[in-house]
Structure 1
Amino acid sequence: MSFTGKYQLESQEGFVEFMKAVGLPDDMIEKGKDIKSVSEIEENGNQFKVTVTTGSKVLTNSFTIGQEADIETLTGEKVKTIVNREGNKLKVVLNRITSITELVDANTLVNTLTVGGLVYKRISKRVA
């Protein structure tokens, strides 16, 4: 299955606690918790471009599977890391955050972020 497409956030669990743990300011957490972000993924072989639009904030990361890349985190920090693919899952470790993005079926994208014992889960549905 290809990740290519546009996905709208449908539901999320653990947002506030997770964002506090990674150091996002309270005002940004308050603004962001009800925004339905849109993730656009372009997959071309092992090359990916991921653009996440949350309100007026746009975060774009490009990477090649298995090669080191600079990835910008939710807090705006740039981290050198390697994104790996295991079937329909993309896995990456950003400092102390582990992110797994899984295409569970043709229209559902699940992103699970873990820091320490906290889990933030985002479920998005394909819109295009």
Structure 2
Amino acid sequence: MSFSGKYQLESQENFEPFMKAIGLPDELIQKGKDIKSISEIEQTGDHFKVTVTTGSKVLVNSFQIGQEAELETLTGEKVKSVVRLDGNKLKVSLKGIESVTELVDGNTLFNTLTLGSIVYKRTSKRM
């Protein structure tokens, strides 16, 4: 199953506590909490390009499964890490944050970000 496509955020849980925990300023948290971000994934074999647009902020990460890549975090920091593909799940660890992105039925993307005891869940639907 290919991850390629555009997905719009449908729902999220624990957005504010998670964003506070990673150090985002309150004004950005308030601005971002009601924006329906759009994730565009381009998959060519084991190569991925992920573009997440949230309002005027655009985050782009490109990586090859199993190879070290420089990835940009939600705070704009660049971190070297390796993305693994486990069945229909993309898994990566960035500065203590465990990220799992799962393509459920071809149309639903679940993204779970875990930092300590805080679990931030996002559900997006294919557009």
Shift of 1:57: 0.3
Counterpart of 2:46?
46
- 1:60 deviates by 0.3
* Amino acid paired to 1:80: K
Partner AA of 2:31 in structure 1: K
How do 1:1-128 and structure 2 match up within 5 A?
Answer: 1-127=1-127
**1:79 deviation in Å?**
0.3
Distance in 1, matches of 2:114 and 2:24, equals: 15
For residues 10 and 124 of structure 1, the distance between their equivalents in structure 2, rounded to whole angstroms, comes to 5
CA RMSD of aligned residues (A): 0.3
Between the aligned partners of 2:54 and 2:11, the Cα distance in structure 1 is: 14
Distance 2:87 2:8 in 1: 22
- Distance in structure 2 (CA, Å) of the matches to 1:31 and 1:98: 24
Q: Distance in 2 between matches of 1:86 and 1:13?
A: 24
- Kindly, what percent of the aligned residue pairs are identical? 73
Q: Secondary structure at the match of 1:9?
A: strand
Q: How many residues get paired?
A: 127
Q: Distance in 2 between matches of 1:104 and 1:74?
A: 23
Which 5+ residue runs of structure 2 have no aligned equivalent? Answer: none
Task: Read off the aligned partner of 2:54 and give its amino acid letter.
Answer: T
What is the TM-score with the length of structure 2 in the denominator?
Answer: 1.00
SS in 1 for 2:24: coil
Distance (whole Å) between structure 2 residues aligned to residue 25 and residue 32 of structure 1: 11
Q: Aligned letter for 1:57?
A: K
Amino acid of the residue matched to residue 85 of structure 1? L
C-alpha distance in structure 2 between counterparts of 1:67 and 1:106, whole Å:
25
